[in-house]
Amino acid sequence: MADINLQEVHDFMIEIARKVGERITSATPSTGAAGSKKNSVDLVTETDQAVEKILSTSLHEKYPTFSFMGEETYKPGDKLTDAPTFILDPIDGTTNFVHRNPYVAISLGLAINKSPTVGIVYNPFTQTLYSAIKSHGAYLTHFLTPQPQPQKLKLPLHPPTPLTPLSTCLIAIEWGSDRSANDFAVKSRTFTKLAAADGGMVHGLRSLGSAALNMCAVAAGEMDVYWEAGCWAWDVCAGWVVLGEAGGRVVDANPGGWEVGVDGRRYLAVRGGEGQEGVIREFWGLVEGRFEVGG
Ligand code: LIP
C-alpha cells in the first residue's frame, strides 16, 4: 500500500463517477433485456450494466494491475483477494432507479488486503458525494450549491450524541431481495421486535433502498444504526470507509460477531458516539435467530 497514491486513486474515482453520473440521470430506466436476477425483486437494468462497463474500463486503463469486483460481472465463486481491488456497484438502489426514486448512488471502493481503504458514494441525482480515504477523514460534498465552489463538509455533520439506549435510535433496515426461508423470517421477527413496546421501542425504522446510502447516513449521523444481511461487498465497501472515518464501525449482523469481512454479507453498522459497544450488544439482544447467508 506504501507505493499506492491513495489521494490520486480517490480523485480519479470521483472524476469518473461524476462523469458517468450523467449517463444515469439521462437514462430511461428499463429492466428490458437485462430484467431481474435471483427473483422478480432483484432488478438490473441496461444502465447498471453499461455504467459498470464504462467505470471498469476506465479503472483498468489507469490501474491495470488492480483487481476488480463489480456487481454486474460477478460470478458465483469469485473471491476477494488481498490484491488492491476496486469493488463497484454501478447503481446501488436499482429498484429506486427503476421507480425514478432519487435514492441512488454509484458505490465505488478500493480494498487492499481485503480492508476497505478508499470509498466514494455519489448520488448523481442530488450531486452529493460521500468520500473518504482511510486515516484521512470522511466528507460530504454538495456540488449543487448557490456558492461558486462545491460545499464540502466533514463527517459526522454534528457532534455525536450518546448511542444508548437503543430505544433512542433511528435504524436503517432493508428487506433486500431474498424473500424466502430462514433469513427472511429473522428479518421479519427482528424488525417487529425492534419496534415493539415490549421490545426495542426504537424511534423508527427506515429503508433508503441503498446499502451505500444507508452506511453514509449512519456516517453523517442522520441515522444511528444500519442492519442488513444478504447484500454484498460492492454495496458496502465504499460506505464502510466513509463510516469508519466518521467514527463508526461495522460488526456482524449475527449476534456475537465483533469482526466481519467486507464480503461477509452480514452487517451491523453503528455511528460514532459514546456507548457504541453497548448499543451493539443491546441490538444483538433483540435479533430473533441467526442469518445463514455468508456461511
Ligand atoms: C441493493 C442494496 C440493498 C439491498 C437490495 C439491493 P442494488 O443493491 O443496496 O441494501 O437491500 O436488495 O441489493 O441491487 O440496488 O445494487
Is residue 28 very low, low, confident or very high in pLDDT (cuts 50, 70, 90)?
confident
CATH number of the domain residue 95 falls in: 3.30.540.10
User: Do 177 and 77 lie in a common domain?
Assistant: no
Written as nine digits, the cell of 171 is 435504524
State yes or no: is 235 an active-site residue. Answer: yes
Domain presence at residue 160: no
39 and 173 share one domain: no
C-alpha 89 – ligand 1 centre gap (Å): 9
* Cα–Cα distance measured from residue 62 to residue 54, given in angstroms and rounded to the nearest whole number: 13
Of 123, 154, 185, the domain-final residue: 154
Residue with cell 454509484: 106
The alpha carbon of 172 and the centre of ligand 1 are apart by a number of angstroms equal to 13
Distance from C-alpha of 77 to C-alpha of 88, rounded to nearest angstrom: 17
pLDDT digits (tens, 9 = 90+) for 254-283: 999 999 999 999 999 999 999 999 999 999
> Can you give the residue range of the structural domain that contains 79?
6-154
Mean pLDDT, range 77-83, rounded to an integer: 97
Identify the residue whose cell numbers are 440521470. 25
Dist. CA 49 → ligand 1 center (Å): 15
Do residues 190 and 145 both lie within one domain?
no
Residue 292 lies in a domain: no
Q: What is the DSSP string of 158-222?
A: SPPPP--SGGG-EEEE---S--SHHHHHHHHHHHHHHHSTTTT--SEEE--S-HHHHHHHHHHTS
Q: What is the pTM of this model?
A: 0.96
Active-site hit among 48, 174, 224, 235: 235
Answer with the one of 126, 154, 182 that is the final residue of a domain. 154
Contact predicate 203/168, CB 8 Å: yes
Domain CATH code at residue 183:
3.40.190.80
* Count of domains observed in the chain: 2
- Asked if residue 204 and residue 140 are part of one domain, the reply reads no
- Paired with 129 in beta bridges are 122, 141
| CB of 89 sitting under 6 A from ligand 1 | yes
